[in-house]
Structure 1
Amino acid sequence: MRKPRSTLVATAGMAFVAVLGLLLSLAGPFAGRAEAAAGGIHVSNGRVVEGNGNAFVMRGVNHAYTWYPDRTGSIADIAAKGANTVRVVLSSGGRWTKTSPSEVSALIGQCKAGKVICVLEVHDTTGYGEDGAATSLDQAADYWISVKGALEGQEDYVVVNIGNEPFGNTNHTAWTDATKSAIAKLRGAGLDHALMVDAPNWGQDWSGTMRSNAASVFAADPDRNTVFSVHMYGVYDTAAEVRDYLNAFVGNGLPIVVGEFGDQHSDGNPDEDAIMATAQSLGVGYIGWSWSGNGGGVEYLDMVNGFDPNSLTSWGNRFFNGSNGIVATSKRATVYGGGDDGGTGGTAPNGYPYCVNGSASDPDGDGWGWENSRSCVVRGSAADG
Structure 2
Amino acid sequence: MAAFAAAIGLLLSLLGLSRTAQAEPAAAATGIHVQDGRVLESNGNDFVMRGVNHPHTWFTGRTAALGHIKELGANTVRVVLSSGDRWTRNDVSDVRNIVSLCKQHRLICVLEVHDTTGYGEEGAAASLDQAADYWISIRDALRGEEDYVVINIGNEPHGNTGYERWAADTRGAIVKLRQAGFEHALMVDAPNWGQDWTHTMRDNARSVFDADPQGNTMFSIHMYGVFEQESVIRSYLTHFVNAGLPILVGEFGHYHSDGDPDEDAILRITRELGLGYLGWSWSGNSGGVDYLDMVRDFDPASLTDWGRRIFHGPDGIGDTSREATVYGSGGGEDTTPPTTPGTPVASDITATSVTLSWAASTDNVGVTGYDVVRVATGSETVVATSAGNSATVTGLTPQTGYSFAVYARDAAGNRSSRSPAVNVTTADGGGQEPGDAACSVAYRVVGEWPGGFQGEVVISNTGTSALDGWTLGWSFPAGQTVTNLWGGTVTQSGSAVTVRPASYTSVIPVSGSVTLGFTGTWTGSNTSPDTFTLDNSACTTA
Whether these two folds match at TM > 0.5 is yes
Q: Within the alignment, does 1:202 sit opposite 2:188 as a pair?
A: no
Cα-to-partner distance string for 1:140-169 (whole Å, 9 max, x where unaligned): 000000000110000000000000000001
Of 179, 187, 191, the match for 2:178: 187
**Residues of 1 paired with 2:338 and 2:223: CA distance?**
29
Q: Within the alignment, does 1:162 sit opposite 2:153 as a pair?
A: yes
**Residues of 2 paired with 1:321 and 1:34: CA distance?**
44
Q: What amino acid maps onto 2:281 in structure 1?
A: S
Q: What amino acid maps onto 2:175 in structure 1?
A: A
Structure 2 counterpart of 1:63: 54
Q: Within the alignment, does 1:263 sit opposite 2:254 as a pair?
A: yes
Do the aligned partners of 2:76 and 2:109 also contact (CA within 8 Å) in 1? yes
Instruction: Give 1:378 deviation, angstroms.
Output: 7.4
Structure 2 counterpart of 1:26: none
Do the aligned partners of 1:126 and 1:166 also contact (CA within 8 Å) in 2? yes
Compute the TM-score of the two structures, normalised by the length of structure 1. 0.83
Cα-to-partner distance string for 1:171-209 (whole Å, 9 max, x where unaligned): 111000000000000000001100000000000000000
**Residues of 2 paired with 1:221 and 1:143: CA distance?**
19
Q: Which segment drifts farther, 33-42 or 291-300?
A: 33-42
Q: What amino acid maps onto 1:294 in structure 2?
A: N
Do the aligned partners of 1:36 and 1:42 also contact (CA within 8 Å) in 2? no
**Residues of 2 paired with 1:346 and 1:41: CA distance?**
27
Of structures 1 and 2, the larger Rg is shown by 2
Instruction: Give 1:53 deviation, angstroms.
Output: 0.4
Do the aligned partners of 1:331 and 1:345 also contact (CA within 8 Å) in 2? no
Instruction: Give 1:343 deviation, angstroms.
Output: 4.9
Q: What amino acid maps onto 1:351 in structure 2?
A: D
Identity %, equivalent residues: 59
Q: Within the alignment, does 1:304 sit opposite 2:295 as a pair?
A: yes
**Residues of 2 paired with 1:346 and 1:138: CA distance?**
47
**Residues of 1 paired with 2:187 and 2:252: CA distance?**
16
Residue 345 and residue 282 in structure 1: after superposition, are their counterparts in 2 closer, same or farther (change >3 A)? farther
**Residues of 2 paired with 1:299 and 1:75: CA distance?**
20
Residue 170 and residue 73 in structure 1: after superposition, are their counterparts in 2 closer, same or farther (change >3 A)? same
Q: What amino acid maps onto 2:406 in structure 1?
A: G
**Residues of 1 paired with 2:258 and 2:131: CA distance?**
27
Of 220, 223, 235, the match for 1:229: 220
Do the aligned partners of 1:163 and 1:198 also contact (CA within 8 Å) in 2? yes
**Residues of 2 paired with 1:151 and 1:341: CA distance?**
25
Of 314, 317, 328, the match for 1:323: 314
**Residues of 2 paired with 1:252 and 1:331: CA distance?**
26
Match of 2:104, SS state, is helix
RMSD in angstroms over aligned alpha carbons? 2.6
Map of 1:271-310 to 2, 5 A cutoff?
271-310=262-301
Higher helix proportion (structure 1 or 2): 1
Cα-to-partner distance string for 1:304-340 (whole Å, 9 max, x where unaligned): 0000000000000000000000000000000011899
Map of 1:121-136 to 2, 5 A cutoff?
121-136=112-127
Structure 2 counterpart of 1:383: none
Structure 2 counterpart of 1:85: 76
Do the aligned partners of 1:35 and 1:45 also contact (CA within 8 Å) in 2? no
Residue 275 and residue 35 in structure 1: after superposition, are their counterparts in 2 closer, same or farther (change >3 A)? farther
Structure 2 counterpart of 1:242: 233
Instruction: Give 1:74 deviation, angstroms.
Output: 0.7
Do the aligned partners of 1:332 and 1:345 also contact (CA within 8 Å) in 2? no
Map of 1:89-168 to 2, 5 A cutoff?
89-168=80-159
Q: Within the alignment, does 1:351 sit opposite 2:390 as a pair?
A: no
Question: Which 5+ residue runs of structure 2 have no aligned equivalent?
Answer: 1-23, 341-360, 381-402, 409-413, 419-542
Map of 1:4-23 to 2, 5 A cutoff?
none
Structure 1 counterpart of 2:326: 335
Match of 1:251, SS state, is helix
Match of 1:258, SS state, is strand
Instruction: Give 1:170 deviation, angstroms.
Output: 1.4
Match of 1:160, SS state, is strand
Do the aligned partners of 2:251 and 2:278 also contact (CA within 8 Å) in 1? yes
Match of 1:367, SS state, is strand
Residue 249 and residue 35 in structure 1: after superposition, are their counterparts in 2 closer, same or farther (change >3 A)? farther
Do the aligned partners of 1:352 and 1:376 also contact (CA within 8 Å) in 2? no
**Residues of 2 paired with 1:129 and 1:287: CA distance?**
25
The structure, 1 or 2, with the larger RCO (C-alpha pairs under 8 Å, 6+ apart) is 1
Structure 1 counterpart of 2:416: 377
Structure 1 counterpart of 2:358: none
Map of 1:22-33 to 2, 5 A cutoff?
none
Instruction: Give 1:377 deviation, angstroms.
Output: 2.3
**Residues of 1 paired with 2:407 and 2:61: CA distance?**
35
Instruction: Give 1:368 deviation, angstroms.
Output: 2.9
Match of 1:39, SS state, is coil
Structure 2 counterpart of 1:9: none
Cα-to-partner distance string for 1:203-243 (whole Å, 9 max, x where unaligned): 00000000000011000100000000000000000100000
**Residues of 2 paired with 1:378 and 1:296: CA distance?**
43
Compute the TM-score of the two structures, normalised by the length of structure 2. 0.60
Do the aligned partners of 1:332 and 1:346 also contact (CA within 8 Å) in 2? no
**Residues of 1 paired with 2:154 and 2:337: CA distance?**
31
Structure 2 counterpart of 1:217: 208
Q: Which segment drifts farther, 333-342 or 67-76?
A: 333-342
**Residues of 1 paired with 2:338 and 2:267: CA distance?**
21
**Residues of 1 paired with 2:267 and 2:298: CA distance?**
23
**Residues of 2 paired with 1:172 and 1:121: CA distance?**
19
